[in-house]
Amino acid sequence: MAENVKLPDGADENKSHPPAEAPCSEEQAEETFQLSGIPVFEGCVLGHVRLLTEGELDIPHFTIEKTQTRAEFTRLRGAINTVIRELEELLGDADDSDNVVPAEARAFIDLHCEILKDPSLISETQDIIRDRLVNAEWALSMRLEDLHSSFEDIEDDYLAERIQDISQMVERVQRVLMGRRRPCDTVSKAMSDTAVILVSEDLSPADILTLKRRGDLSVAGLLLEYGSVNSHTSILARSLEIPMMVNVSGIRERVHEDDVIFLNASESTVLVNPSEEQMPALAGMSRTRVGNSRRLRTLRSRSCTTLDGTTVELLGNIALPEDVADVVKNRADGIGLFRSEFLFMNRPDMPGEDEQTQAYESVIRAMKGKIVTIRIMDLGGDKTPTAQALESIGESLEAAVINPSMGRRGIRFCIEHPKLFKTQMRAILRASAVGNVRILIPMLSRISEVLHVRNVMTQCRRELEAEGFRVADDIPVGGMIEVPAAVFCLEHYLKVLDFASVGTNDLMQFMIAADRLEPSVAGLCHPMHPAMLRMLAEVIGKAVKAGKDISVCGQAAADPFFAQYLVGAGLRSLSVDSVGMLAVKERLTQSRLDDNRCLARNLRRCASAGDVRRVVQKYQKDHPEFEPSRFVQSVLAEDFLGLDRLSLDPL
């Protein structure tokens, strides 16, 4: 577990932790080595190791007399109530901390409290105590083993996460019964004047919060030997902007307390006990990251306006309602992309109308009148509900899909499941009554799809109003431009659309005919491909000419340099994830529209990868004050679009 989570990058804006700079000893220098893992939140930090390695709990097992069962029942209920109280106290602290702890934390802790308050946990454990005459700790272990057995043959990520949550809560109760404190409560304060990197087998969201609430440690990074990038712990770490990696194999055995570590989640590496010669450069990189984060936070209250007075709308992308907290914190101009499909994933059923309405309303209310763009569920491809959820709507799981990214997904999936689509539409329309909402159609490839959505909206509106629900008078309908068909017929699409949003991720792979998830060709899916640059400029120009709002919400828009290109090409609205929003704002507010237009013209004229590289090189030479992002570095790299293998491209 971690402790008072104090990250260099700023979950807590009022404190900072200097990176470790102490030179390593000769013994350490002899043990310098590197490990790798899967990044959860990128960033680099230099710090000292704090090990949270305790091994498995040694659960006592003994028999009791029948006359002692009531006492064991009392111990069990008391321990469960103690854990519930501890968790609720964490949330109580969070309420008084000016939103330092993100909304995700409350959702996870609420879930864990629900697990502990489930009457079956007490009743079925008490049955084991009564029938087998064993102590409460062991009875809990037996109950958990039964649950594991019932889950082990179910291949479902959602249910796997639930059994992990139950296991974590059972362990907490057992620790109370045994009088054993949790590791996150026993981490020493030693080295708290420098950045601490916690190394553990795994962590729970409650452990992260416990450490966050402690004031005696600055946690700069997290390294887990196991774990998943989609676990609750990882989601919470991302929201707190803690550099973190999971699946760092063997790290608990190879590192020792107080070892110096350079965690570079941006490069998926961990350098343990760097040499004395390496330390100055690593410490400098760590300090730069901390300083950059602190500098960017000062931009939250500023509008995104270029040096020569052109204002660019900066919207936020979110996947879950809890994500809105970061969008609000960064003072975004609205939500440009609410990926509603994530409400349908990692669960055994489909969300009902009331549940969806509450989710949409929570986001709309949080934005306080600013625009909220809800994308119709973009299910299919790599965003697939669980098998149980698909079966609940009669979806066949037997037919193999050869190319799911180009199959029945997005609006196509919605048309095939009218009842499910209608439920979502009713929920969106009901939620529209509390704020400023617009609807975005994914995977648009036919004008008739727009007309179908409008017909469903009209039908749902009539039904809701007849039932006494209030619906907003005007709900704009937009389309995702991510299929070449929509690009080439955009003038016609814009006659029936109120706005458009470009999804660069899918548009790239469809236009270049290269699957971005296929390693052998993924390198071709680069936004700086000459064809992509030209197509984006044309799409923006057509929308501007038609007088329709257009934004870019794909991942490429979050790169500051690419954002300059888009603005230079005429775009005035960007929608990005919260993590990259302030960096984009900084770059745009330091640029001039004329320079961005010049950059866009030069890039639009490029015919080859070599041309693109030369334009970028010249821009970097003319603007040395701009530090190249990883995106720009990828253009300058030898393997940009295969330049290291193709000598025919003139250089």
Q: 226-235, 454-463, 520-529 — which one is most confidently predicted on average? A: 454-463
Q: Are residues 541 and 641 in the same domain?
A: no
Contact present, 247 and 268 (Cβ < 8 Å): no
CATH number, domain at 239? 3.50.30.10
Q: What is the DSSP string of 356-420?
A: HHHHHHHHHHHHTTSEEEEEPP--BTTB---HHHHHHTT--SSS--S-GGGSS-THHHHHH-HHH
Asked if the structure places residue 332 within a domain, the reply is: yes
Q: Are residues 171 and 188 in the same domain?
A: no
Q: Are residues 558 and 613 in the same domain?
A: no
Name the token pair of 282: 């690593």
Q: Are residues 589 and 455 in the same domain?
A: yes
State the number of CA atoms in the 13 A half-sphere of 507 facing the CB: 29
Q: Are residues 162 and 202 in the same domain?
A: no
The answer, yes or no, to whether residue 260 has pLDDT greater than 50, is yes
- Dist CA 9 CA 293 (whole Å): 5
Asked if the structure places residue 407 within a domain, the reply is: yes
Q: In the prediction, which pLDDT does 421 show?
A: 97
Q: Are residues 142 and 250 in the same domain?
A: no
Which of these three, 153, 178, 203, is where a domain ends?
178
Please count the structural domains in the chain: 4
- Dist CA 434 CA 150 (whole Å): 43
Q: Are residues 503 and 394 in the same domain?
A: yes
The answer, yes or no, to whether residue 441 has pLDDT greater than 70, is yes
CATH number, domain at 403? 3.20.20.60
Asked if the structure places residue 520 within a domain, the reply is: yes
Which residues form the catalytic set?
232, 553
Q: Are residues 361 and 229 in the same domain?
A: no
- Dist CA 498 CA 315 (whole Å): 17
Q: For residue 261, give its domain range.
A: 26-50+184-296
Contact present, 219 and 88 (Cβ < 8 Å): no
Asked if the structure places residue 59 within a domain, the reply is: no
The answer, yes or no, to whether residue 567 has pLDDT greater than 80, is yes
Asked if the structure places residue 157 within a domain, the reply is: yes
pLDDT tens digits, 351-395: 999 999 999 999 999 999 999 999 999 998 767 888 888 888 988
Asked if the structure places residue 335 within a domain, the reply is: yes
Q: Are residues 160 and 303 in the same domain?
A: no
Of 12 and 637, the structure prediction assigns the larger pLDDT to 637
Q: Are residues 470 and 359 in the same domain?
A: yes
441: phi then psi, degrees, rounded to nearest 5: -95, 120
Asked if the structure places residue 1 within a domain, the reply is: no
Asked if the structure places residue 645 within a domain, the reply is: yes
Which of these three, 159, 178, 197, is where a domain ends?
178
CATH number, domain at 115? 1.10.274.10
Contact present, 388 and 349 (Cβ < 8 Å): yes
Q: Are residues 313 and 383 in the same domain?
A: yes
Q: Are residues 207 and 225 in the same domain?
A: yes
Which of these three, 128, 157, 178, is where a domain ends?
178
pLDDT tens digits, 25-59: 444 445 789 898 888 877 888 888 888 755 455 67
